[in-house]
Amino acid sequence: MSTPDAAQSGTFTIGGDLAVNRLGYGVMQLPGTGVWGPSPDPENAVRVLRRTVELGINLIDTADSYGPFVADHLIREALHPYRDDLVIATKVGFTRQGPNQWIPVGRPEYLRQQVELNLRHLGIERIDLLQLHRIDPKVTLEDQLGELVALQNEGKIRHLGLSEVSVDDVKASQKLATIVSVQNLFNVARRDAEPLLDFATENNIAFIPWFPLATGKLAKPGSSLDALATRHGASASQLALAWLLARSPVILPIPGTSSVDHLDDNVAAASLKLSAEELDEISDAA
């Protein structure tokens, strides 16, 4: 059996100069329960991260708030010194008070602090892609993006993106900064962000769907995709990822897992080719 290869998902160039294989990996599942505290099995987490690059993944999505900083430490332990073609995308703008607790803070001094800490914890001099995790409604957009642009001008950030935003948010942000990516909840069962996806497609902005497998719900036995998957000789998660890859050339799915076997299964979706009729069938089933 051949080794899955993320390169078969095709490539996308973020910001005009960061070429990545479209199927990436998200590290949110590596810290403890509620994305809080240390990994329950750090040695396994390191194995999973090292396996990602073996499978051709060169886009890893993280955030300072994952743990917090637990995911960043694992990435550094597993992969530093980093390969030249590895793009690490991270996010700032959340504070953490405990498991599953997330409060946005967009004060400029806080955003600057978190960017500096990301650089230190990841062991890098410049962040390839820094995304504002949430726009803080208590702070002007000008102040939030203005600080990130200042850090970009200082050489600490290469490209800027946004997370959980509307088309209007992106348009307003584009007046203040060059926005090269958006990261919203989107999967075959949850398509609320389709207007944003269409805007991103028209403007060649990377669209990074988080929870592309609905935290595993789409991959469970008995799920809406399970019967279809059996018929196709694939897993339900592979169908869900193949559907995303086919939906738009700017989509960069980042399925997360703490299992090497599940990682291999997910990456195998890169080579799964589906007809228009089959894609419609997946859409209807979900």
Catalytic residue positions?
66
Transcribe 120-136 into DSSP letters: HHHT-SSEEEEEESS--
Instruction: Report the distance separating Cα 63 and Cα 58, nearest Å.
Output: 16
Please enumerate in sequence order all residues whose Cβ is within 8 A of that of 155, keeping only pairs 6 or more positions apart, or say none: 125, 126
Q: Which phi and psi (to 5°) does residue 107 adopt?
A: -65, 135
Q: Do you find a cis peptide bond into 68, omega within 30 degrees of 0?
A: yes
- 168, 170, 171, 104: which is closest to 133 by C-alpha? 104
Q: Is 279 exposed, middle or buried (0-12, 13-18, 19+ CB in 10 A)?
A: middle
Q: Is 219 exposed, middle or buried (0-12, 13-18, 19+ CB in 10 A)?
A: buried
Instruction: Report the distance separating Cα 84 and Cα 262, nearest Å.
Output: 26
